[in-house]
Amino acid sequence: MRVPTLLLSLLLTFPMAAAAADAPAQAAASDPNQACLDCHVASKPGESGVRPAQFGKSVHGTFGCTDCHAGYQAPGPHELPALEGADAATMARFEALKASTAPRAYLACGNCHSEVVEQLAASVHGKWMKGDAKVAGPTCASCHGAVHEIVKPVAAPAAAGVKFSPGARAISERCEKCHADPVFAEKAGLKGDVVVTFHDSIHGRLVNTGSARAPACADCHGVAEKDAKGVLHPNAHKILAKTDPASPVAGTHRAQTCGRCHEGANENFAKLIAHHDPAHSESKIPHFLHVVFSWLAALTLIFFAGHVALDLFAEVRHKIRMKKAGHGHDPLKEAEFVQRFDLHQRAQHWMMLSGVILLGVTGWPLRGAGSPEAIETSRKILALFGGPHGAALLHRIAAVMIIISGAYHILYLVLHGARRTLAFSMLPGPRDVGEIRDNIRYMLGFGERPAYGKYSYLEKFDYWAVFWGMIMMVGTGFVLWFPVFFAKWAPHWVLTSAQIIHGEEATLALLFLFVVHFYNAHLKPSIFPMNWVWLTGKMSHAMLEEEHRGQYEELVKKKDPQDP
């Protein structure tokens, strides 16, 4: 029985061995790249070689290795032979590309994308390939990514008839690889701060926060051309130096480039979009205003932050003294109220409050998006409002709300003036100077709290700061809302100054409101969690006596003894 079994085993073994020997040949036949991949497989990004799964998903996934790596022969060790049979133009191009990190790969791209390759060679990015550049510049892979993993770009939505470059944020990041590198920029003679100034511009902030309608680098610097459907779009392969007369950002072309999105843009408008700080424009006025508003914001916040700290110290000290002495508010005075604000005043405050908070939460994230550290946070906040453009719509609605509130208040004052019932107790006067001095002494532990009248100097400051803020914010806001219109008649420094004032004043106003005003109206220990007058319009006699003793004493003197 053993002999037949042995023979049967041998008969079965030979065919299996033959099949095993033919397996590599069959695999090579089914996948002509397999022989190359046996040696050139990468397991992770950045590793030398090919990741088969990612290569299969790329736009070149159906190509054979030798389609690009012409001259290589598989399997086995190989050398790339000379360009036998190449025409004179190809040989000349190859000689010009000897400084490139991958000249043959560049030539391989030209086999299918000859028009694009010629455009790149003629652009500012292709000049380094001509042999006279100080430093090696970009190749196709520098912008399109790993050559074995290039995917088809997704077209961005059209805006104002312009089809922007796909993936604006990705395009900008690719430009930044070189332009943000100080070593490369110095060697290539590039301006070193273009990336910083782009991030700080309105275009850069919109790109950073995910806008599909905001232009990236190539959308302005690329030469505009029409596609087969007649749609004007920038050619990202045809980037020209800004000193080139044909560049879309050179001379009079800038206004035309801006006009692709901002219809009616002129040269004055085009000056707004440049790689420089708005405070350092051709006029000295924006710089002067930047310095003034920076000092104004700093000194105001320093003074009032110190004021809040001293007041908190005085409040705690006062409570401890009252507790030790066993004193408290008179229950009868707690139960009696005086009407401090009528319904009209409260409605004006509610509208102003809602508008300012909405302006803050929709405006500050965009302002902060110029900083790389804050981009992700800004994106998340703006996503709550439908992205940067949804937030922009709400920002304008909020602006209209505070304008209506301001107009409502002016009309209120005019009507009371006509009826001769307008009170002037909110006007600053010499008495306020003395009260500031006396209150600081009290907060430091000397003397008594001033006997304020109907309004303290803090409340007067709050009130008049709103008038100042309305003039600054609404005035500059209209300039930023309709920049093309104002650029037609206002000098350039007016538009630049509006950018500076709007940002600086918004920062000052929001920090003051959320630090100083919220403390005085909500967080102060004696009134925490809030002074309810903004909702009810009423204040108890006990609080009136403590916060506005001067007014309380005047009302007591005027009180009719027969009036319960």
Task: Tell me the three-class secondary structure of 236-270, residue by residue.
Answer: EEEECCCCCCCCCCCCCHHHHHHHCCCCCCCHHHH
The answer to whether the beta carbons of residues 547 and 452 sit under 8 Å apart is yes
- The sign of the dihedral angle between the CA atoms of 7, 8, 13, 14 is positive
Is 50 exceeded by the pLDDT of residue 50?
Answer: yes
Q: How confident is the model at residue 27 (pLDDT cuts 50, 70, 90)?
A: very low
Q: What is the pLDDT of residues 12-23, one digit of tens each?
A: 343 444 444 454
CA dist 77 to 102, 117, 145, 462, 499, Å? 20, 31, 28, 81, 64
Q: Left, alpha or beta for 305 (phi > 0: left; psi -120 to 50: alpha)?
A: alpha
Q: Give dist(CA 415, CA 422) in Å, integer.
A: 8
Packing angle, helices 103-112 and 114-122, rounded to 10: 130
Three-state SS across 18-56? HHHHHHHHHHHHHCCCHHHHCCCECCCCCCCCECHHHHH
Q: How confident is the model at residue 39 (pLDDT cuts 50, 70, 90)?
A: confident
Q: How confident is the model at residue 476 (pLDDT cuts 50, 70, 90)?
A: very high
CATH number of 285-558: 1.20.950.20
CA dist 438 to 444, 447, 459, Å? 10, 8, 16
- Nearest by Cα to 449 from 538, 550, 526: 550
Q: What is the pLDDT of residues 304-346, one digit of tens each?
A: 999 999 999 999 998 888 877 776 667 888 888 999 999 999 9
Q: Give dist(CA 166, CA 145) in Å, integer.
A: 14
Q: How confident is the model at residue 159 (pLDDT cuts 50, 70, 90)?
A: very low
Tokens at 390, concatenated: 């949804």
The answer to whether the beta carbons of residues 512 and 304 sit under 8 Å apart is yes
As to burial, measured by CB atoms within 10 angstroms (0-12 exposed, 13-18 middle, 19+ buried), residue 284 is exposed
Q: How confident is the model at residue 153 (pLDDT cuts 50, 70, 90)?
A: low
Our measurement of the distance from residue 550's CA atom to the centroid of its chain's CA atoms, rounded to an integer in Å, reads 49
User: Domain locations in the chain?
Assistant: 1-27, 31-144, 158-276, 285-558
Is 80 exceeded by the pLDDT of residue 158?
Answer: no
pTM of the model: 0.80
Is 90 exceeded by the pLDDT of residue 501?
Answer: yes
Q: How confident is the model at residue 140 (pLDDT cuts 50, 70, 90)?
A: confident
Q: How confident is the model at residue 227 (pLDDT cuts 50, 70, 90)?
A: low
- Nearest by Cα to 391 from 410, 368, 419, 411: 368
What is the pLDDT averaged over residues 347-361? Answer: 96
Is 50 exceeded by the pLDDT of residue 28?
Answer: no
Q: Give dist(CA 437, CA 34) in Å, integer.
A: 87
Is 80 exceeded by the pLDDT of residue 232?
Answer: no
Tokens at 101, concatenated: 């990190």
Tokens at 69, concatenated: 């790596």
Residue 154's SS3 state is coil
Residue position matching structure tokens 């000349």: 92
DSSP bridge pairs for 232: 226
The answer to whether the beta carbons of residues 204 and 193 sit under 8 Å apart is no
pLDDT attached to residue 534: 92
